[in-house]
Amino acid sequence: MEHRKPLRRRIASTQAAASRIDLREAALIAALLVLAAASWTFTATQLNGMDMGSWTDPGPLGFFTLTWVVMLAAMMFPSVAPMVVAYHRIQRHRRQTGRYAPGGSTAIFVAGYLIAWTAFGLAAYSLYKWIAGVTPAVFAPDQGGRYVAAGVIVLAAVYQLTPAKNVSLMKCRSPLDFILHRMRPGYGGALRMGVEHGVWCVACCWALMTALFALGVMSIGWMALIGAFIAGEKMLPWKRLANRSVSVALALIALAVALAPAAVDGMGM
């Protein structure tokens, strides 16, 4: 533990400096938000007219991969901004004190984060296509597909209340703690740290993103709602309340999907 004390002091000093407005960090946050906004615009154009309700087919692999990565930027960049800023701050401090911290490592960190989520998306896509190929009727709305969707959303609501969710959510809500225990130098270290943070984020939000598949992965309305759930539980100060509120909201959505599907069709936009 002794070797961590100097790093703890450096982090404390950077936290104190953060009380003042840093134009470089403000520019970084602005860049993430602009990228998120551009991604929302691109996604809305790309998916226009494609949403067909629950279990909308995600399309060919190439189309899905491109759309998924852009969706991730739209949904995740606002909530991952505190982690990216914390990483950038520590890297800048390393450069100021003469230690190795190559330029562009923050972008590599973000790329690693996207790689982890892309791997999850491709796994979910493969599972969906396999199930649809073996039992095509399972996702059909008129043959019980809405009940399958409701069941998946209920599972997501239940996962919100598990210890695994709590642990992974804490990792996502504590950027400096994550960096303190996993800081690695160089581009390779930045990529590895980004992937590791992405894995924790997947562990935290995989059920919510699976619920998005059930609701309609090509739906801008459901994307926006799930993205708001993710941002709320990661960024609002009331972690337990935010987490429980998302669980209740998912349970209500599942009930609506199963019993009144027409009432939720309008979310597709």
Q: What is the pLDDT of residues 59-78, one digit of tens each?
A: 899 999 999 999 999 999 88
Q: What is the pLDDT of residues 217-268, one digit of tens each?
A: 888 888 889 999 998 898 888 888 888 999 999 999 999 988 876 666 656 5
Mean pLDDT, to the nearest integer, of 46-68?
81
Q: What is the pLDDT of residues 109-134, one digit of tens each?
A: 999 999 999 999 999 999 999 988 88
- pLDDT score of 28 more than 50: yes
Q: Which of 94, 109, 75, 70 is nearest to 13 (CA)?
A: 94
Distance CA 72, CA 121 (A): 10
Mean pLDDT, to the nearest integer, of 45-56?
73
- pLDDT score of 106 more than 80: yes
The helix-helix angle for 186-216 and 145-159 (nearest 10°) equals 140
Distance CA 105, CA 21 (A): 22
264, 257 contact by CB (below 8 A): yes
What is the domain count for the chain? 1
Alpha carbon distances (Å) from 36 to 14, 167, 226: 27, 27, 15
226, 265 contact by CB (below 8 A): no
132, 138 contact by CB (below 8 A): yes
pLDDT given at position 122? 95
pLDDT given at position 174? 82
153 Cβ contact list (under 8 Å, min separation 6):
211, 214, 215, 250, 251, 253, 254, 257
**67-96 in b/e burial notation, b at 16+ Cβ within 10 A?**
bbbbbbbbbbbbbbbbbbbbbbbbbbbbee
Q: Under DSSP, is residue 22 helix (H, G, I), strand (E, B) or coil?
A: coil
pLDDT band at 211 (very low <50, low <70, confident <90, very high): very high
What's the maximum distance between 2 C-alpha atoms anywhere in the chain? Answer: 65
Q: Which of 123, 154, 149 is nearest to 215 (CA)?
A: 149
Q: What is the pLDDT of residues 148-166, one digit of tens each?
A: 889 999 999 999 999 999 9
- Choose between 116 and 99: higher pLDDT: 116
pLDDT given at position 235? 87
Distance CA 74, CA 196 (A): 20
pLDDT given at position 11? 52
pLDDT given at position 18? 46
Runs of H (alpha helix) within 163-185:
163-173, 175-182
- Choose between 269 and 262: higher pLDDT: 262
Alpha carbon distances (Å) from 198 to 76, 79, 103: 10, 12, 21
Domain containing residue 55? 2-268
Most confidently modeled of 19-23, 50-54, 57-61? Answer: 57-61
- pLDDT score of 49 more than 50: yes
The DSSP output letter for 217 is T
Alpha carbon distances (Å) from 53 to 92, 143, 175, 188, 223: 46, 14, 36, 41, 13
